[in-house]
Amino acid sequence: MRLLTLALTCLLWVSPAWGQTPAPTQPAAPAVPAVEAEPDLLPRWSDAQVAELIAAARTAPAHGMATDPGVEALQIQRGVVAALPAGSIQRLAEAARMDFMAAELFRRVALDFGAGRVSPRQVDRNWQIPPPAPDTDALMRAAVQGGTWAIGRTLDSLLPTHPDYRALEAALVRALAATPPDDPLALAARERRLTAIRADLERWRWLPREVPGRRIEVRIPFQRLDFHLGDGRVERFTAIVGAPRTTTNSLVDVARSVVFNPTWIAPRRIALDELLPSLRSDPAAMEAQGFELVAADGTAVPPTAVDPASLTRSGFAWSVRQRAGERNALGRVKFPLTNRWAIFLHDTANRQLFGREMRALSHGCVRVQDPLRLARLMLADTGGWTDARIAEATVPGGAERGVRVASPVPVWLVYLVTEPDAAGGLSVAPDIYGLDTALVKALDQPRAPEAAFGIRLNTRVAMP
């Protein structure tokens, strides 16, 4: 124990001039208390385990990230330890330092692999999916106790296993191996592709590792909705997503019902910015489109029954509701979600917009072409909802009707700009919200200086 105390004293308090005796005028360093074997102590690392950790950390470029600077620092520290006489106080102290550095590097690589290197909200304020939160210290202890090869296996297990992530890894290898073209336009296209691949590798690390087989998935930049039926089949729908100024958030939710002939209560911002001017200038036209004003007590009146001069932005106390019908903004059917941003899926009265190539046009909700087909798929195991019954439920002028689905469907709205294509390659969609460059720039930011040394002076280490 005395040897341990002396070694830790050397580790924490000696000056860079190793081994020099402090001048008599200097205050004595505080005594380092004896360290007892407690569960929260850092584990001791063998040289072989440190070597494996370094090898695992050096795979970061294969995942679109720069190698952590702590790798080089730890490699140097290995050499320092190896050069010192076995059993010496200096070696014990430097081995303890190496344990600190290895522990910190493991934590950082585990977070990089398991949750992403960049905080999602740092580069995308609309990303509302919490990243995974691996317990890095518990993983580290188990890995060190598990022997040499457990270090690499543990870190590798934190990476996404979804086939799309593996496809991105392969695409990155191919892109980096290809000779950069001389043509400026081709070079710019190559850089755009590399940026998209690296950005999506990071986004996949932000996502939950368990991806439900049966789900609705909207890859926002592709402006498309895919219903994964859970048996390998995928039904695809053209979609309209949020405009760059009124984006669709990335979120994970669940669809529990289908609403036929929905009414629409305009969000406050839309009511004030877009509907109020028309309510003032042409209330009759707004009434013809099915709009009505709803007071706080629930009383509804037609726009023509209200003095337009009283409809001011500052004193607007009404809710704006649009009755069900062919001109309703939600169309014939909506698919409610539960998120607090009021984002959901729905039909639209402006179906001609589905013919556009660029369909980032909505206020954030996702409009779906052929929504009755989507309703049929969602209600497939909800008794009695045939095509004829769905058609009957959506007759213009019919009453609003909600139907709870027997099997709720997970809904993933995700900003992913890549996807594997049928030919085994990778399709890259336009970066419609302009997020990729900032994400990759954040990935390339140098780590803080402490990361290169990885020493936490208030952390205790187990030693013999």
Matching residue, tokens 């929504």: 371
Instruction: Give the span between the Cα atoms of 458 and 74, in whole angstroms.
Output: 19
CA 320 to chain CA mean position, Å: 34
Q: Strands 333-335 and 345-346, how do they pair? A: antiparallel
Give dist(CA 362, CA 183) in Å, integer.
37
Of 417, 433, 445, the residue nearest 193 (C-alpha): 417
Taking alpha carbons only, the member of 129, 217, 210 closest to residue 410 is 217
As to burial, measured by CB atoms within 10 angstroms (0-12 exposed, 13-18 middle, 19+ buried), residue 399 is exposed
Distance, CA of 432 to CA of 414 (rounded, Å): 13
Bridging pattern class, strands 426-428 and 234-242: unpaired
| Alpha-carbon 336 to chain mean position | 22
Order of strands across the sheet with 300-301? Answer: 264-265, 319-322, 291-294, 300-301
Q: Which of 63, 228, 346, 363 is catalytic?
A: 346
Gap between the Cα atoms of 19 and 5, Å rounded: 16
**CA separation for the pair 304, 285 (Å, rounded):** 9
User: Of all helices (H) and strands (E), which one includes residue 167?
Assistant: helix 163-177
**Amino acid (one-letter) located at 257:** S
Residue whose entry in the numeric block shows the structure tokens 């009434």 = 287
363 is catalytic: no
Cβ contacts of residue 87 below 8 Å, gap of 6+? none
How far apart, in whole angstroms, are the C-alpha atoms of residue 239 and residue 42?
A: 51
Query: Is 10 a known active-site residue?
Result: no
Q: Which of 10, 63, 228, 365 is catalytic?
A: 365
CA distance 128 to 336: 18
Task: Return the H-helix or E-strand segment holding 111.
Answer: helix 89-115
Tokens of residue 94, six digits? 């430097």
H helix or E strand, kind and range, residue 55: helix 47-57
Please enumerate in sequence order all residues whose Cβ is within 8 A of that of 1, keeping only pairs 6 or more positions apart, or say none: 34
* Spatial contact of 250 and 415, defined as CB atoms under 8 Å apart: yes
CA distance 241 to 33: 61
Residue type, 359: R
Q: Which amino acid is at 68?
A: D
Pairing of strands 366-368, 264-265: unpaired
Give catalytic residue positions.
Answer: 346, 365
